């Protein structure tokens, strides 16, 4: 990115904490940056699992409340890298009742808050581990993680439901089965474990198709997430900032609508770039 936040070049890769061997992170970064023709002196600012214990270097979590305009205060510089490299911290909520952690989403939230000019809102970042965060006076004051996306993948790949969904993974937000199951779980979130089995039974008894079985599963899981959050929102009609990109967007938009939750969408890619750029400005500012 240039100093004004313009994107000069971009590249996506699946090489992250789960697949890169210890000690291999510096090489992966240089290989990816070489693919962008990035100058050797260009600094790199990183968020996410690179800062986890099994990542490049463990960066201690920031405790709550955590100000969004200065995540960089907890960043660590990597010694001996080929270029200036900084890894941003994650956030930890150490309440005994609801311990929780995030790495990467804090940077997306900071960027989304900046993009949406939101200083006091609820943020929803759906995905493998969906995060819902409360921001007050420009600081994250609490958050919860829902295993929604991981549960979808687990059940599709490894459970009795694998026979029901086959290789279907794509869910259309206007599929009536998705919407019916979503509304059903919004109304009765506590029977999730039973509704999941009903997908198998509907396949056996009523010939539910694989596409519809995947839609039903997605509807139940997203419905359970939204129902749990909705029960805990202030109910003051404030707008949820939905930070998402890609195929998940219409599914969560449908869920917000079904639950009567007002929301506005911020593209997750835009958000993370804005958050990283903000951190870079702090980290790279001439020392006074």
CB-nearer residue toward a second copy: 38 or 191: 191
Is the separation of the CB atoms in 111 and 275 below 8 Å? yes
CA–CA gap between residue 274 and residue 287 (Å, rounded): 22
Beta bridge partners of 134: 122, 142
Supply the minimum distance, in Å, between the C-beta of residue 144 and a second copy.
5
CB-nearer residue toward a second copy: 110 or 217: 217
Supply the minimum distance, in Å, between the C-beta of residue 179 and a second copy.
15
Nearest to 238 by CA among 223, 271, 260: 260
CB-nearer residue toward a second copy: 89 or 278: 89
CA–CA gap between residue 103 and residue 86 (Å, rounded): 14
Supply the minimum distance, in Å, between the C-beta of residue 172 and a second copy.
21
Residues contributing to the site for a second copy (CB under 8 A): 53, 61, 92-94, 96-101, 129, 144-148, 150-151, 154-155, 157-160, 184, 189-194, 196-198, 200-202, 204-206, 221, 224-225, 227-228, 231
CB-nearer residue toward a second copy: 220 or 273: 220
Supply the minimum distance, in Å, between the C-beta of residue 270 and a second copy.
26
User: What is the token pair recorded at 135?
Assistant: 């921001």
Burial of 119 per CB tally in 10 Å (0-12, 13-18, 19+): middle
- Count CB neighbours of 166 within 10 A: 14
CB-nearer residue toward a second copy: 154 or 247: 154
DSSP per-residue letters across 148-178: HHHHHHHHHHHSTTHHHHTT-----TT-HHH
CB-nearer residue toward a second copy: 144 or 257: 144
Q: What is the 3-state secondary structure (H, E, C) of 190-248?
A: HHHHHHHHHHHHHHHHHCCCHHHHHHHHHHHHHHHHHHHHHHHCCCCCCCEEEEECCCH
Supply the minimum distance, in Å, between the C-beta of residue 257 and a second copy.
20
Supply the minimum distance, in Å, between the C-beta of residue 73 and a second copy.
20
């Amino acid at each position: 990115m240039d100093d004004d936040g313009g994107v000069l070049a971009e590249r996506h890769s699946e090489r992250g904490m789960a697949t890169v061997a210890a000690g291999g992170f510096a090489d992966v970064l240089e290989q990816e940056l070489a693919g962008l023709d990035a100058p050797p002196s260009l600094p790199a600012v990183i968020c996410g699992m690179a800062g986890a214990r099994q990542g490049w270097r463990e960066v201690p979590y920031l405790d709550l409340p955590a100000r969004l305009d200065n995540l960089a205060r907890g960043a660590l510089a990597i010694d001996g890298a080929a270029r200036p490299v900084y890894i941003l911290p994650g956030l930890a909520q150490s309440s005994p009742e609801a311990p929780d952690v995030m790495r990467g989403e804090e940077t997306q939230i900071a960027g989304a808050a900046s993009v949406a000019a939101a200083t006091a809102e609820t943020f929803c970042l759906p995905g493998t581990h969906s995060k819902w965060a409360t921001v007050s006076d420009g600081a994250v004051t609490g958050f919860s993680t829902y295993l929604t996306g991981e549960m979808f993948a687990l059940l599709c790949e490894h459970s009795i439901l694998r026979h029901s969904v086959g290789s279907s993974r794509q869910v259309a937000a206007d599929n009536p089965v998705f919407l019916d199951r979503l509304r059903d779980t919004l109304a009765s979130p506590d029977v999730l474990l039973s509704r999941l089995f009903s997908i198998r039974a509907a396949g056996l008894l009523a010939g539910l198709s694989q596409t519809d079985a995947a839609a039903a599963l997605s509807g139940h899981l997203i419905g359970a997430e939204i129902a749990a959050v909705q029960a805990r929102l202030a109910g003051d009609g404030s707008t949820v900032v939905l930070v998402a990109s890609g195929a998940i967007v219409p599914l969560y938009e449908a869920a917000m609508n079904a639950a009567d939750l007002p929301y506005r969408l911020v593209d997750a890619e835009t958000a993370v770039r804005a958050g990283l750029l903000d951190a870079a400005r702090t980290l790279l500012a001439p020392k006074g």
